[in-house]
Structure 1
Amino acid sequence: MALSPLKLTTCLWFDGQAEEAANYYVSIFPNSKITHVQRYTEAGREHHGREPGSVLVVEFELDGHRFVGLNGGPHFTFSEAVSFQIDCADQAEVDYYWDKLGAGRDPAKQQCGWLGDKFGLSWQVVPKAFKEMLAKGDGAAAGRVTEAMMKMRKMDIAELEKALKGE
């Protein structure tokens, strides 16, 4: 049986920051909203150890993509093995997401359009033009574009276009 797109939800495990993170992401992405907040109750407190009334899960949407932020505790953390790719229409959009999601982070730790946000979640901020350059079918040009991208922290479309042209 095939899943409908509305039945696939990404669950993100936080150590008490799910509501803060959801509010942060909703403030950055257009057409986004918090759809539900569920709180811990006294039931199961001997297992979860959380204060009744504190946030258990926050359901939210980022431009139509559904997420659940779960305050599950310190047992699991994010790694770069999972990231979210943002396909950006132009350099202004690349700059916007890079600046917003990377705010307060060490830029020396970012490379090739990848960055980690203040919650430890990894993002790939990628211009659509980059993918188009690689798909043109010219292996030598694609190699130059890839080589240029490997030297970048935030992707720069103008520099990628120069590499495409061999400049």
Structure 2
Amino acid sequence: MTTNQQIVTGERADILEFLAKHRYFLRHTAQGLIDEQANTRSTVSELTIGGLIKHVTEVEQHWAEFARTGTGEETPTEYTPELIARWENQFRLAEGETLAGVLAAYEKVAAETEELVRTLDLDTSYELPAAPWQPPGVFWSVRRIFLHVAAETAQHAGHADIIRESIDGQKTMG
């Protein structure tokens, strides 16, 4: 929970509710799993439930910082073996990581983002960092950043649901 318990309405309430719903779906896929299961590749992809939660946490943290400051990491121009390994490790539990640990980190980042949704000016816009997949001069409002985080969460909750169903048949819905 956040430290600021003010009541929010309108679009801020909508954004918070949408985020909460899809965060619940993502967390639900991990319910009752042991670390080994959370790190299981049960489909042809490299994705695991623990890794997806870890990835969503990192992505949300990145976008929250961007919403707060308008700055973020530049897209690399050279893909070194170290950078590739870091990217691959983002989608699995690495040595020493636990499902409980990534879930705790996710809760912390989620609470920080919720506070930003409550307090930042949603109309503030920032130019997105340079990247090969977008032309220069693209601006996103803070509102759009939070909608993007919600869409990412929803998409990866669906991925996690497929992985979980392949592990033991549990489904989030249906």
TM band (smaller chain) = under 0.3
Q: TM-score, normalised by structure 1?
A: 0.24
Choose 1 or 2 for highest CA Rg. Answer: 1
Q: TM-score, normalised by structure 2?
A: 0.24
- In terms of fraction of residues, the more helix-rich structure is 2
Larger RCO, structure (CA 8 Å, separation 6 or more): 2
